[in-house]
Amino acid sequence: MRDDRIEAKREADALDEPAREARELAERLGLEPYPVRYWVVDHDQMNELIAYGGFQRRYPHWRWGMNYERQRKKDRHGLGKAFEIVNNDDPSHAFLQESNAPADQKAVITHVEAHADFFANNEWFGLYADRGEGGPNAAARLERNADRIASIAKRGDVDRDEVERLVDAVSALEDTIDQHSPVDAARSVEEPGIAADVSDGDEDPVAAIEARIDDLDLSEEVRRDVFDDEWLEARGEGVEPETPRPDVLAFLRDHGKRYDPESGKAIDREPWETTVIDAIREEAYYFAGQKQTKVMNEGWATYWEATMMGGEGFAGPDEFLTYADHMARVLGSPGLNPYKLGFELWTHVELRAARREVIDKLLRVEGVTPENFHSRIDLDEVADLLEPHPAIAAAGPATLDELADLAAAGDSRVDAEAVDRALSARDGDDEASDDIDVERYPWKLLTREGLAERHYVLSRPEHRGALRNVSREALEEQARYLFDVDRYETVEEAIADVDRAAGWERMFSVRESHNDVTFVDAFLTDEFVREGNYFTYEYSQAAEEHRVASVDAEDVRKKLLLRFTNFGKPTIVVLDGNFRNRGELLLGHRYNGVALDEERAKATLKRAFELWGRPVNLATIRVEYDDGAVRRAKRRGEEPDGTEVGVRLQYDGGEVTEHDLDESVRERITADEVDYDTKPDDWLA
């Protein structure tokens, strides 16, 4: 991918400074990104990278070919130009489209820096990154998988189509993992038995083993000692799990066999098959982190991009319009747009935390109580007091002297050393060797505290009214846990104590611990739903079309949670590995009121059979509508009531058959406590 064409090089050189400065600004704002390597690629290379999920080498598979065809057509017909793609690794690699306008490149760089911070600090990513290898090592891992699977596919004794078929089967089940746990180290590909399968009979086995040893590092050796054959065998006992196991893939890997059509029996897998399963499963764990945090991650990147590009003038005045247009397009794309949803939720998090901090201080002013808050406190005065210090707000060449005065007084908002250097540069003092360009990068004069004041959320025009909107209930709630009231004599004193970085602090801690599910659950408020005009829709059996169901915040949240929980897929667990005492597999769909797509479920069941080698079963619940009931409901303008029927689907290599579901199994898959239905009672009236 290293590109030595002159044009790309020129572009790459021009990006050195923005990349360096963006990193410095990001760090000054408190971000702690992984190092990022920037590459400039042409559109065809970009299409290829996108096809391969942001990595240069993946295992051989038709899927990448399909992605490429699709992306190429999108690109060619202007349906979706990709500005960048960044992969989650330490260091991260970001690939920027050569044809981006300079303003786009800068925007993309700031965006990427924030992604790299998210990768490095979000603990859901950490589940993969902190598995004892000192980082994600993603590119190296995927490359190793690529080599392994490619060499298996090349073996004379292995049918290449069989390898591909196995990859497809595992891929069909790639979301049935336990994404809330770290990738199980025991099942990573460095396992005993590997050496035998990577080497073709014709190859020199010693060389193959040596190549493998090169790949190993210490922690992997340690792992090998811990999780040896004996340990694996010990795990083999659990074919009848007491509690349902969410990691279906792991179960299939550990206890599955392959079906031999000739003998009609299940036989043990070839070692290479286990290698392939492990590789794909391991990648599923790697990508689970990003699938679980898409809204947060894109919103986070968009937030900091906006702060750096717009707020800090990282786009030059001549580039600002291009940038604003770029941003408008990103935020304006239709549908449930993760950039927009995430950006809005993050701003909401910031605003609420900042407001809380101000109210906390105001409630400590002598004589102020929740009851008299709105009458005693002059919120206009508060707004004025919260305005950033003029020299901080307008930091730059014109305010150098003022900033110098502040620095001399030991003000922690000012970077005294930077101000000093800027002053010497201005006064023509040649000793200042590395001049700082305060005209272009005024933020260099400020500390994080200063920047927090400069970008203070409650001083932004669109959020001025936020304090006024706080209800008495909210005030009372907050006052209940307040000690040390009457700390301040005046409002002025109280505001002087306000931590302007409170909003950011809250955001940083949220970005560490949340994923999309918890993020939406915790921060999607009524206010948010109302202002964004969000609504839920449902399919009406009576009207035979989709209808708006609810505009209630609680309902919108429920529906969004359905979309984000478990990658928006139904939860499938292993109920029994020795079903009916015949070694059959029983999977259970944990029914939450939303039915399965049965056609696709049946097709997936066939893939599971390939990994189990014996008959496979799926327990689920389906909602049936009686024709008469539908007709009656239509007449009355109502929605018919469906009947929930337990079903067991079975596949034994022939046809998928349908059976009644045992009541005891049904009880194990029904989840009563959740309800994602948002249809109102008098919906169609």
- Minimum CB distance to other proteins smaller for 23 or for 589: 589
Q: Min. distance of Cβ 140 from other proteins in angstroms?
A: 16
- Minimum CB distance to other proteins smaller for 351 or for 562: 562
Q: Min. distance of Cβ 78 from other proteins in angstroms?
A: 10
Q: Min. distance of Cβ 18 from other proteins in angstroms?
A: 17
**Angle (CA) 362 368 373, round 5°:** 80
**Distance (Å, whole) CA 57 – CA 260:** 33
Q: Which residues are bridge partners to 446 per DSSP?
A: 414
- Say which residues have a Cβ less than 8 Å from residue 269's Cβ, sequence separation at least 6: 256, 257, 258
Cα 273 versus chain centre, distance: 30
Asked if 133 and 221 count as a contact pair (C-beta separation under 8 A), the reply is no
Q: Min. distance of Cβ 8 from other proteins in angstroms?
A: 18
Q: Min. distance of Cβ 374 from other proteins in angstroms?
A: 28
Asked if 548 and 279 count as a contact pair (C-beta separation under 8 A), the reply is no
- Minimum CB distance to other proteins smaller for 96 or for 365: 96
**Distance (Å, whole) CA 370 – CA 492:** 18
Q: Min. distance of Cβ 570 from other proteins in angstroms?
A: 5
**Distance (Å, whole) CA 453 – CA 354:** 11
Beta-strand pair 92-97/36-41 = parallel
**Distance (Å, whole) CA 209 – CA 455:** 57
3-state DSSP call for residue 548? strand
- Minimum CB distance to other proteins smaller for 451 or for 586: 586
Asked if 682 and 663 count as a contact pair (C-beta separation under 8 A), the reply is no
- Minimum CB distance to other proteins smaller for 83 or for 504: 83
- Minimum CB distance to other proteins smaller for 127 or for 562: 562
- The 3-state secondary structure of 135-170, one letter per residue: CCCHHHHHHHHHHHHHHHHHCCCCCHHHHHHHHHHH
Q: Min. distance of Cβ 46 from other proteins in angstroms?
A: 8
Q: Residue 91, preceding bond cis, omega within 30 degrees?
A: yes
Q: Min. distance of Cβ 656 from other proteins in angstroms?
A: 12
- Minimum CB distance to other proteins smaller for 166 or for 498: 166
Asked if 39 and 16 count as a contact pair (C-beta separation under 8 A), the reply is no
Q: Min. distance of Cβ 131 from other proteins in angstroms?
A: 18
First to last CA, the chain: 61
Q: Tokens at residue 404, please?
A: 């110098």
- Minimum CB distance to other proteins smaller for 319 or for 344: 344
Rounded alpha-carbon distances, angstroms, from residue 375 to 327, 369, 468: 41, 10, 11
Asked if 319 and 102 count as a contact pair (C-beta separation under 8 A), the reply is yes
- Minimum CB distance to other proteins smaller for 320 or for 676: 676
Alpha helices in 179-256 (DSSP H): 194-198, 205-215, 218-226, 229-235, 248-255
Q: Min. distance of Cβ 613 from other proteins in angstroms?
A: 16
Q: Min. distance of Cβ 681 from other proteins in angstroms?
A: 11
- Minimum CB distance to other proteins smaller for 94 or for 422: 94
Q: Tokens at residue 496, please?
A: 């002087």
In 3D space, the residue among 472, 497, 468 whose CA is nearest the CA of residue 484 turns out to be 497
- Minimum CB distance to other proteins smaller for 139 or for 494: 139
String of DSSP letters for 324-384: HHHHHHHHH-SSS-HHHHHHHHHHHHHHHHHHHHHHHHHTTBTT--TTTHHHHS-HHHHHH
Q: Min. distance of Cβ 445 from other proteins in angstroms?
A: 32
